[in-house]
Amino acid sequence: MSAPASLPGGAPAIARLRQALAHPWVGGAVGIALLLAVWTAVTVTLDNSSFPTPAQVAASVVRDGWAFYSANLSASLGRAGQGYIWGNLVALAAAALVMLVPRIEEVVTQLGVISNCLPIIAVGPIIMAIFGGRASAIFLSALLVFFTTLVGALLGLKAASASALDLVRAYGGGRWAQIRKVRLMAALPALFTALQVAIPGALLGAIVGEYLGGIDQGIGVALNAAQRQIMPDRVWALSIIAGLISLAGYGLVALVGRLLTPWAKERRS
């Protein structure tokens, strides 16, 4: 029996299929459809009330309504946004300070590693006991952002060409002039990549901080309440929506990075 590709029109059809799947959005749509199909098949097979089907999760979103989700999402996004800003600002300031005073690089990187290794579940209650629940959510969000942006900024700032740095030095420019005129531009591609990766971390830190308590509204608060009330469909819905928001933020920062750093397209590929 001959292979399907040897049939009349078989090879062009396969080529067209491969070309269609090469588009990122097509591959993503196919992946999501397969995921939903597997999810539905598993839930129907297990017949477990704590493992809702996609239809039950969607029905839960409709039942809870826009008022429920808008209040909780806006609260979490506000805290995640503040943590994202503070974490990035501190990381960028630390990276610039390393460029100005290279001797402190080891100390700064060690502090970054320590901040990344700290278990947020253990740190959160301490911050909440000292400053309150809202501050703990913002702090944990900034904590999960700091290390990622610090590493990306340091790698980007060091990516500047030696000839360009020598040129600035030849015209009398110091380390600060090198940062402004050369290193900052060279760091943008790596910096935008770090800012992308920091988006999910910022939202995760805010949700964990809310989950610990001391806050009235937020995704973490709603997740905690849904678990206590044994509402698995709402738990799944909140988790999926949080993931979709992180994905949307990741894509938005990636788009901004592509628009502002078109020269780095080949490097990203």
Question: What pTM value is reported for the model?
Answer: 0.80
Q: How would residue 76 be classed by pLDDT, with cut points 50, 70 and 90?
A: very high
Residue 27 has pLDDT above 80, yes or no: no
Query: H-type helices in the chain, by residue range?
Result: 10-21, 24-46, 54-100, 105-117, 120-131, 133-157, 162-170, 175-178, 184-211, 219-228, 232-260, 265-268
- Six token digits for residue 19: 């070309």
- Does residue 134 sit in the same domain as residue 119? yes
pLDDT recorded at residue 269: 47
**Distance between CA atoms of 79 and 227, rounded to whole angstroms?**
22
- Does residue 133 sit in the same domain as residue 4? no
- Does residue 56 sit in the same domain as residue 172? yes
Q: How would residue 17 be classed by pLDDT, with cut points 50, 70 and 90?
A: low
Residue type, 172: G
Residue 48 has pLDDT above 70, yes or no: no
pLDDT recorded at residue 39: 76
pLDDT recorded at residue 198: 93
- Does residue 77 sit in the same domain as residue 40? no
**Distance between CA atoms of 237 and 233, rounded to whole angstroms?**
6
pLDDT digits (tens, 9 = 90+) for 236-257: 999 999 999 999 999 999 899 8
Q: How would residue 49 be classed by pLDDT, with cut points 50, 70 and 90?
A: low
- Does residue 30 sit in the same domain as residue 59? no
- Does residue 85 sit in the same domain as residue 118? yes
pLDDT digits (tens, 9 = 90+) for 88-99: 999 999 998 998
Tell me if 196 sits within 8 A of 254, measured CB to CB. yes
Dihedral sign, CA of 264, 265, 268, 269? Answer: negative
- Does residue 28 sit in the same domain as residue 88? no
Range of the domain at 218: 52-268
